[in-house]
Structure 1
Amino acid sequence: MAHQTALLDRIRVLLLLDALEAADMGPVPVMRLHAFALLADLLGPIWGVDSHDGKILKRQGGAYYPRLQRQLDMLVGLGFVEVTNVSYAFENGLSRLEGCFQIASGRAEEVIASVRMFSEEERAVSFLRRLAFSLQRVSLPIEKLIRVDATWADQRTGTGDVIDFSEWKSANYSAYSAQLFARLVDPDLKIGCGERTQLYVRLLEHRAHG
C-alpha cells in the first residue's frame, strides 16, 4: 500500500509539472509548485477530479505538502525531474530541496503518455492544464494568489491549524465559490468547467490586488 501511494504521488508531481510547463511556466520554483498543487486540490471537484489530499497545514510561509516534496526530491534522484538554482531550506528541524524544477526530457514523457491512456487521468490532465493556462494569464505568482483563496484565507483557521476541506469536512469554499458563477449568469447560458475555473482565478487576482 505504501509503495502504491508513493507511485501515485510521483505521478501527481509529474502531472503538475507537465501542466505548468505546457502553460510556459517552467522551470517552477518549489513553493509555486506547492501552491499550484493546493489550488488543484481545491478546484478539482469542479471537473469531477478528486482532491489528491483533502487537508493541509496552514503555514505562515504558504502552502506546503510534505508528501509531495518527498516524491519531488525522489524524482530528482531518479532522473525524472531536473532542478536548477539548488539550495536547501530548513524548517522545524527538517530540510527540503529548494530550486526551480522541470521535467527531464525523455523518461517522464513516456510515463505521462501512459497515464493519459486512462480516462480519469486524462480528465485530470485536461483540468490541470486548463488551470495552469488560467494562472499564466495572471500578473501575480500562484503562491501570492493562494493567500486570498476562499479556503486558505478563511479566518476560522489560523496559522498552525489544519485546513480540512474534503477529508472529514465539506469545507471546500473555493470550489463552492467557483460553482456559484453558474448561478449568476443568464439561465440560458452554460458556464462550463473551464470558464468557472478561469473566473475563479480572475476573482483571486482581483482580491489579491485589493
Structure 2
Amino acid sequence: MTDHRHDSYDDRLRLLLLLDACEVADISPVPIMRFHALAFLANVLGPVWSLDSYEGKILKRRGGPFYPELQEQLDHLVGLGLVTIHNIGHSFIEGRWRLEGEFALNAEATKPLIDVAASFSSERRVMAFLRRLAIAASQISEPIEVLVGFDATWSDQRTGTGDVIDFSEWRRANYSAYAIQAFEQSIAKGVSSTRGDRLQVYMRYLERRLHGTA
C-alpha cells in the first residue's frame, strides 16, 4: 500500500513540477481540466517510472478527473504569486459553478524553487517523469482531458460514476500500468524501448480507443 502522508509543501511542490513539465512540453498555460487529467495520469503511470502513485484513489466523476485538494493548493499558489491564471471564466458542471482558467508558472518567482528541487535526486526523477509525460501528451492530436476517459483505470466498468477508484491504496487495480506492461511483453524480442517510449505508446493507444481503432 502506498504511503500518502505528504503535507501541503509536498502537494505544492508536485504542482509546481507538473506546471514546469507543461512549460517544457510547450502546453502552458494549461486549462484546468487538462491539468487535472495530467495529474491523474501521473498517478496511474508513475509505476512505469518506478514511482509510487502520489494519490492512490480518486472519485469517478462524469466530467473526468478532478482533485479538490489539489485545486485548493493550486489556488493558494496563485495567491502566493507563484502561479498565474489566464482566461478566467466560470462553468456550471454537475450542479455547481466552478472557476475556469488556464494556469502557468510565474517563471521568475518559481525558478529558484525548481532549481532547488532539481538538486535532489528523488525530485529529479519526478521531474524527468512529469516532463516526459507532458511531452507525450503534447504529441497527440486530441486533448488529454478527452483521452483520459479511455484510460484503462478510469474507464473500468466495475467502477461507476460517483464511486471511488482505488488503484493504489487498499487495492492493486492500476490497470493503466498493467496495460503498459502488456504492451512491453508484446514487443518483439530484441527490440528495446525507453520508459518515455512506453508513455508515448500508451497515449497513442488512448487516441486509438477514442477513434475506435484499438
The correspondence for 2:100, drawn from 98, 101, 106, is 98
Q: What is the match of residue 44 of structure 2? A: 42
Deviates more, 1:180-189 or 1:32-41: 180-189
* C-alpha spacing 1:4/1:187, structure 2 compared with 1 (3 Å): closer
Q: What is the match of residue 131 of structure 2? A: 129
1:102 maps to amino acid: A
Could you tell me how far apart the structure 2 residues matched to 1:199 and 1:180 are?
12
Could you tell me how far apart the structure 2 residues matched to 1:150 and 1:4 are?
26
Deviation per CA, 1:136-177, whole angstroms, max 9, x where unpaired? 110111110100000000000010000000011000000110
CA contact (8 A) 1:182 1:190 kept: no
1:190 Cα deviation after fit:
2.3
1:186 Cα deviation after fit:
2.2
Deviates more, 1:74-83 or 1:131-140: 131-140
Q: What is the match of residue 155 of structure 1? A: 157
* C-alpha spacing 1:92/1:186, structure 2 compared with 1 (3 Å): closer
Structure 1, unaligned stretches of length 5 or more?
none
Could you tell me how far apart the structure 1 residues matched to 2:115 and 2:95 are?
38
* Aligned partner of residue 106 in structure 1, secondary structure: helix
Could you tell me how far apart the structure 2 residues matched to 1:88 and 1:75 are?
19
Structure 2, unaligned stretches of length 5 or more?
none
* C-alpha spacing 1:95/1:120, structure 2 compared with 1 (3 Å): farther
* Aligned partner of residue 18 in structure 2, secondary structure: helix
Identity %, equivalent residues: 53
Could you tell me how far apart the structure 2 residues matched to 1:25 and 1:95 are?
26
The 5 A counterparts of 1:10-89 are 10-89=12-91
1:106 Cα deviation after fit:
1.0
TM-score by length of 2: 0.92
Q: What is the match of residue 141 of structure 1? A: 143
* C-alpha spacing 1:121/1:94, structure 2 compared with 1 (3 Å): farther
Could you tell me how far apart the structure 2 residues matched to 1:7 and 1:62 are?
26
* Aligned partner of residue 139 in structure 1, secondary structure: coil
Could you tell me how far apart the structure 2 residues matched to 1:67 and 1:186 are?
43
Indicate the RMSD between aligned Cα atoms, in angstroms. Answer: 1.7
* Aligned partner of residue 137 in structure 2, secondary structure: helix
Q: What is the match of residue 180 of structure 1? A: 182
Q: What is the match of residue 201 of structure 1? A: 203
Q: What is the match of residue 117 of structure 2? A: 115
Could you tell me how far apart the structure 2 residues matched to 1:92 and 1:202 are?
30
